[in-house]
């Protein structure tokens, strides 16, 4: 199955961003892709880290998602894209990924679970964390899971998606540049692929605050295709046969010691509570 990554520079103008998205969707369609994944928050971007997104956010029935649904139906392609979704909170929004099938029908959204309260940034001041509902869906002959950007640093989510049957994990991202940050993106993406015997697909923003580096990593951790920091599509073939081959020779999911994990979990919970009480 051919899939595409739409690496793009996201502006503070929604209409401009939609025009860019449609152009990249058109290119993916011409290349024969059946799915295209866009970055986190491709609805809107600002260089001001204190700007509220409350006035920018839209419901899932709003004009931005409606436009994505039209594109998906027009080009008969599945579209995965990050938006700011409005909430009942007057000051905070959801950092949401929507999946729209080739008929223009939207699936249940994924709301980012792990908020980027790190490296001097406090995403939780502007964004509400998701309630833990995950998103796994079928496209073509493959099962896809979804994570968002900072989620990559938490192996539990990728493993849970693998348990739910994910063979490909899509990671819309707006990864910040900085010392070791680009290296972390590659290392962690390859690690998630290796430890779960699946494909990892990073769709990243480029621009002032984002480093790009979109990539597709195969289940053995090999970078199958990648792009640095230019706006473009990246089209790659992902094969179910490759997943099966790797799971045959490196059966990490089958070799887990589930007889030990419950005991470790209980110990970890006590340790976590002790650390939290000291903080």
| Rounded-to-integer distance, Cα 124 and Cα 193, Å | 28
**Of the listed 14, 34, 69, 112, which one is catalytic?**
112
Terminal CA-to-CA distance of the chain, rounded, Å? 48
260-277 tens-digit pLDDT:
888 887 777 766 666 555
Burial of 206 (0-12, 13-18, 19+ CB in 10 A): buried
Report the topology of domain 2-251. Nitrilase/N-carbamoyl-D-aminoacid amidohydrolase (3.60.110)
Residue 180 CA to residue 209 CA, distance in Å, equals: 15
Give 127-170 pLDDT, tens digit per residue: 999 999 999 999 999 999 999 999 999 999 999 999 999 999 99
112 is catalytic: yes
Query: What CA–CA distance (Å, rounded) separates 155 from 163?
Result: 12
Give the global pTM.
0.94
The residues of the chain scoring below 70 in pLDDT are 270-279
Are 182 and 171 within 8 A, CB to CB? Answer: no
Q: Which of 42, 149, 210, 211 is catalytic?
A: 149
| Residue 40 a catalytic site member | yes
**Closest Cα to residue 106, out of 142, 146, 72, 149?**
72
In the residue annotation, 2 being an active-site residue is answered as no
Which residues, other chains included, contact 134 with Cβ-Cβ below 8 Å and sequence gap of 6+? 110, 145, 146, 157, 160, 161, 164
Determine which one of 37, 40, 78, 210 is catalytic: 40
């Amino acid at each position: 199955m051919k899939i595409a990554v739409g690496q793009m520079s996201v502006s503070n103008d929604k209409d401009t961003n939609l025009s860019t998205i449609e152009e990249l969707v058109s290119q993916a369609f011409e290349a024969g892709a059946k799915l295209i994944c866009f970055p986190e928050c491709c609805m809107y971007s600002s260089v001001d880290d204190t700007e509220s997104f409350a006035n920018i956010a839209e419901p899932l029935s709003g004009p931005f998602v409606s436009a994505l649904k039209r594109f998906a139906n027009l080009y008969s392609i599945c579209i995965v894209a990050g938006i700011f979704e409005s909430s009942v909170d007057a000051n905070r929004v959801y950092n949401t990924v929507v999946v729209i099938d080739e008929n223009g029908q939207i699936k249940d959204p994924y709301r980012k679970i792990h908020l980027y309260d790190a490296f001097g940034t406090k995403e939780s001041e502007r964004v509400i964390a998701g309630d833990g509902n995950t998103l796994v869906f079928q496209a073509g002959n493959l099962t896809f899971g979804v994570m968002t950007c900072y989620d990559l640093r938490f192996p539990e989510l990728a493993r849970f998606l693998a348990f739910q049957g994910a063979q490909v994990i899509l990671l819309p991202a707006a990864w910040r540049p900085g010392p070791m940050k680009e290296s972390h993106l590659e290392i962690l993406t390859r690690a998630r692929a290796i430890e779960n015997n699946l494909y990892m697909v990073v769709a990243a923003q480029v621009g002032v605050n984002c480093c790009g580096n979109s990539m597709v990593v195969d289940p053995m951790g090999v970078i199958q295709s990648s792009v640095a920091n230019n706006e473009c599509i990246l089209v790659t073939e992902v094969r179910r046969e490759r997943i099966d081959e790797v799971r045959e020779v490196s059966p990490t999911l089958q070799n887990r010691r589930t007889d030990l994990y419950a005991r470790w979990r209980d110990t970890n919970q006590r340790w976590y509570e002790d650390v939290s009480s000291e903080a």
